[in-house]
Amino acid sequence: MIENERDIRLSSVIEAGRRMLTAARTAPKAKGLDLLECCLVTGDDIQRMSAEMQALYEETGRPVFKRDGENILKAGCVVVIATRREVMGLDCGHCGFDSCAQKLPGVPCAFNSVDVGIALGSAVATAADCRVDTRVMYSAGMAAARMKLLGEGPYQYFAIPVSASSKSPFFDR
């Protein structure tokens, strides 16, 4: 059997995306508490995400949504990673308040943000191991949040489009 790279490229990109999801899940987390939600977006759902980004551009006038909305159309899949909000009870002060009890409602625990950042780093490191092109995008994450791709719970979304081409479509901006 002979498999041409062009014929298996999309399946290779999706497999890399799946590995990225596993890497995010197994990344270290504060107090060992897993608050992450993750999914893989493919096919027509990438088109829907791009349309949501174009709507964000029209509402805000911020060019990042237009540019990134066009960029994700060149991806074979998009990895979405988000965290739910939960106070860790460490009274560390990293959120800007002296204790967790003083923290205002709606202010995220700093460790929630750190955990999603570590998961993103683990996911893109795995992508590098798979030799696929990626870029972490808060803009596509905002579209995923508006689309409620991970339900009602998560609040801090990021998205990572994944591609395998001769030149990264996410590099020249």
Longest CA pairwise span in the chain (Å): 65
- Give residues with Cβ within 8 angstroms of 111, minimum separation 6: 30, 31, 88, 90, 92, 94
Beta strands in 73-138 (DSSP E): 77-83, 133-134
Q: Provide the whole-model pTM.
A: 0.94
Q: What is the mean pLDDT of residues 150-166?
A: 94
Residue 172 has pLDDT above 80, yes or no: no
Q: Give per-residue pLDDT as tens, 68-95.
A: 999 999 999 999 999 998 888 899 999 8
Inter-helix orientation angle 44-60/138-146, to 10°? 100
Confidence of residue 173 (pLDDT cuts 50, 70, 90): low
Summarised one tens digit per residue, pLDDT across range 97-134 is 999 888 888 888 999 999 999 999 999 999 999 999 99
